[in-house]
Amino acid sequence: MPATPAETSNGRGPDRPRLVGILALQGDFEAHAKLVSSLGADPREVRTPAGLEGIDALIIPGGESTVMTLGIEREGLAGPLRALVDRGTPVLGTCAGMIILDREHLGVLDVRTQRNAFGRQVRSFEADIEVQGVDGGPMHAVFIRAPWVTEHGPEVEILGRVEGHPVAIRQGNVLAVSFHPELAGDARLHELLLAAPNTIVGGG
Ligand code: GLN
């Protein structure tokens, strides 16, 4: 009998590409999928709890948090999404994705966010911002009716700010930014997501 190759919990071999779930109820999930593919990982559009099974990481994209929240309720995704975070799966939320993760929504980030904090369409803008933990210079960030963090608990690290307001944060295995790195084609946060260990990480 040939030796059975070691397999990870999702049944794929240890050297297989990372499988990245992208919540695809609404929003700009396709731009994230392209970026994930460009890094040699496999994107999977997630619309139901079954879609979360076996993924190595998850992205919650930008879009409209009200519409996404309705979709999460309709599909019974809130519990499975919280369980995924509790298991230590690396998660990246962008823009509306940050809102979905906050205290008032999934409650996995100990933050209060303010929607459309920079104002509505008139305050869509681009900026270069330093994000702690992202090497290679500032990130080119596209803000579209973006939120910012107005309040946060002690476990939340602030990684970047605009006009003094937190727009990039991390709490354990959950990373969230209020801008759209996928629209600027900046893959460095996605690289961090892929490099993150799929385990519960403590503290910093
Ligand atoms: N303004 C949107 C909301 O509140 C977020 C915008 C975005 O994701 N680009 O849900």
How far is Cα 83 from Cα 49, in angstroms, rounded to an integer? 11
Counting the structural domains of the chain, the total is 1
Backbone angles phi, psi at 71, to 5 degrees: -65, -40
Backbone angles phi, psi at 85, to 5 degrees: -65, -45
Rounded to the nearest whole angstrom, what is the distance from the C-alpha of residue 88 to the centroid of ligand 1? Answer: 26
Shortest-distance atom of ligand 1 to CA 65: 10
- Whether the CB-CB separation of 13 and 6 falls below 8 Å is answered with yes
Flag whether the pTM goes above 0.85: yes
Q: According to the model, what pLDDT value does residue 196 have?
A: 87
- Asked whether 96 lines ligand 1 (CB < 6 A), one says yes
* Domain assignment present for 7: no
- Asked if 95 is an active-site residue, the reply is yes
Q: According to the model, what pLDDT value does residue 122 have?
A: 60
* Domain assignment present for 136: yes
Q: According to the model, what pLDDT value does residue 150 have?
A: 98
| CATH number of the domain where residue 111 is located | 3.40.50.880
How far is Cα 73 from Cα 31, in angstroms, rounded to an integer? 24
- Asked if 180 is an active-site residue, the reply is yes
Please count the other Cβ atoms lying within 10 Å of the Cβ belonging to residue 204.
6
Determine the structural domain holding residue 38 and report its residue range. 19-195
- Asked whether 61 lines ligand 1 (CB < 6 A), one says no
Rounded to the nearest whole angstrom, what is the distance from the C-alpha of residue 84 to the centroid of ligand 1? Answer: 23
Q: According to the model, what pLDDT value does residue 199 have?
A: 56
Tokens of 128: 């270069």
* Domain assignment present for 3: no
Intervals of the chain under pLDDT 50 = 1-8, 201-204
